[in-house]
């Protein structure tokens, strides 16, 4: 029953992200995180391509050449850097990443930690989200400031752990006077 396994994966992911968002002080974002995954557009594809050890979106891409679930998801969830892509006025680069609001960068950190914990299970280490980011960053159009803040927070997670990272996020990054 892949639909039950997929639902369990979504629920575990949402629960972890909510826990991390709450630790950061982002209560509303924690509650509303990834609600589109329960829509038929995303859920049905997730069930069809469910494997348990990676995102079903990658399996759909391999099969169809694109992921309809991802296209739906990224356009509705502001914690994804792809939501913040726009046309550029630079003729050499037709698209560019715009600077993300800091609360969505923090939610993205929470999302990456949770996703890595779900897919890596007992093998998870605090360095995994940074490693995943470094492996994939060349593929993404991300604003330099957003990239720097994301790297800073994921590096802190690797070097100092969750407790210190979330304390820093609450006390410094989400402070109204913080500018990045």
Average pLDDT, the chain: 95
- The continuous run of DSSP H or E covering 52 comes out as none
Q: Is the pLDDT of residue 138 over 80?
A: no
- In a domain? residue 68: no
Q: Which two tokens stand for residue 49?
A: 């391509």
Name the band, by pLDDT with cuts 50, 70 and 90, for residue 64: very high
- In a domain? residue 89: yes
- Phi, psi for residue 135 in degrees, rounded to 5: -70, -30
pLDDT tens, position by position, 16-29: 999 999 999 999 99
Distance CA 162, CA 124 (A): 13
Distance CA 42, CA 54 (A): 15
- In a domain? residue 138: yes
> What is the total count of domains within the chain?
1
- When computed from its CA atoms, the radius of gyration of the chain, rounded to whole angstroms, is 16
Name the band, by pLDDT with cuts 50, 70 and 90, for residue 93: confident
Q: Are 64 and 56 in contact (CB under 8 A)?
A: no
Report the C-alpha dihedral over residues 144, 149, 152, 154, rounded to 10 degrees: -110
- In a domain? residue 158: yes
Burial of 17 (0-12, 13-18, 19+ CB in 10 A): buried
Q: How many percent of the chain have pLDDT more than 70?
A: 100
**Residue range(s) defining the domain that contains residue 84:** 78-173
Q: Is the pLDDT of residue 49 over 80?
A: yes
Distance CA 77, CA 86 (A): 15
Task: Give the pLDDT mean for 113-130.
Answer: 95
Query: According to the model, what pLDDT value does residue 74 have?
Result: 96
Query: According to the model, what pLDDT value does residue 163 have?
Result: 98
- In a domain? residue 26: no
Predicted TM-score (pTM) of this structure: 0.93
- In a domain? residue 41: no
- In a domain? residue 127: yes
Three-state DSSP at 98 gives coil
- In a domain? residue 61: no
């Amino acid at each position: 029953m892949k639909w039950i396994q997929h639902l369990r994966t979504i629920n575990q992911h949402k629960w972890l992200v909510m826990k991390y968002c709450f630790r950061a002080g982002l209560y509303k974002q924690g509650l509303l995180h990834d609600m589109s995954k329960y829509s038929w557009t995303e859920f049905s594809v997730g069930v069809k391509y469910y494997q348990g050890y990676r995102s079903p979106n990658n399996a759909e891409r391999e099969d169809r050449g694109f992921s309809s679930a991802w296209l739906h998801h990224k356009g509705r969830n502001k914690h994804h850097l792809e939501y913040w892509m726009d046309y550029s006025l630079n003729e050499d680069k037709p698209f560019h990443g715009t600077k993300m609001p800091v609360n969505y960068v923090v939610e993205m950190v929470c999302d990456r930690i949770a996703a890595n914990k779900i897919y890596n299970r007992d093998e998870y280490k605090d360095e995994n989200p940074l490693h995943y980011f470094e492996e994939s960053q060349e593929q993404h159009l991300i604003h330099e400031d957003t990239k720097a803040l994301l790297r800073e927070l994921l590096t802190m997670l690797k070097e100092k752990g969750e407790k210190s990272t979330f304390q820093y996020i609450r006390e410094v990054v989400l402070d109204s006077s913080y500018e990045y």
